[in-house]
Amino acid sequence: MARQRKDRGFTALEVLVVVAIAAVLAAMAAPSFSELRRATSLGSSANQLLWGLHYARSTAISRNVAAALCLSADGTSCLTSPGTPGSGWLIFLDRQRGSPVQLNVADELLRVIPLPSRLTVQGTRAAVTFWPTARAGTTSTFKLCDAAGDPRGKAVVVSQTGRPRVAEGDAAC
């Protein structure tokens, strides 16, 4: 009796077909992955800004001194003009309470939060001050935008009572 030989493995043609199909699927999925990454980055940064506002508010109440969150372009000083894009924000105890809000030597810096390199933040005010009486001294809307030019961003709103929240839907950048 002759034994039949059983072939094992794949032919070169079969491997090439599978690689071609995988390449086509990867090319189709790439745009949706970049959109997912952008949306995740914006959402994460909006939540981080929301956390920073809650932190400044609770610190003002617990330490019985005004606390401020200001937008920053360099991570060391506050922006002074509303609408100017920043690359992060500073949270500090505002002991000198100047106008406009600035980080001075007498103030205690609590946190420096930088944004990912592709994102910018701008606000209707460059800073928000929280008072120990559990209310904000100012209201503001902060918009987080993708520097790549996507017109959709995220907005974080601070009400007169000091309550920050992430706005529903996308913000226009």
Residue 107: the pLDDT is: 92
CA dihedral 53, 90, 35, 166 (to 10 degrees): 10
Spelled out in words, what is the top-level CATH class assigned to the domain 12-172?
alpha beta
The gap from C-alpha 68 to its chain's centroid, in whole angstroms, comes to 18
Are the CB atoms for 101 and 123 separated by under 8 Å?
no
The residues, any chain, with a CB within 8 Å of residue 75's CB and separated by 6 or more, are 87, 88, 90, 112, 114
Residue listed under structure tokens 């002074």: 80
* pLDDT means over runs of 10, the chain (173 residues): 66 90 84 78 93 94 93 93 93 86 90 92 93 77 86 90 86 83
Residue 114: the pLDDT is: 95
* Rounded Cα gap, residues 141 and 156, in angstroms: 6
Q: What is the pTM of this model?
A: 0.79
* Rounded Cα gap, residues 111 and 48, in angstroms: 12
Residue 99: the pLDDT is: 78
Residue 25: the pLDDT is: 87
Helix (H, G, I), strand (E, B) or coil at 171: strand
Q: Phi and psi at residue 168, in whole multiples of 5°?
A: -70, 145
Residue 6: the pLDDT is: 65
What ranges in the chain are assigned the alpha helix state H?
Answer: 12-63
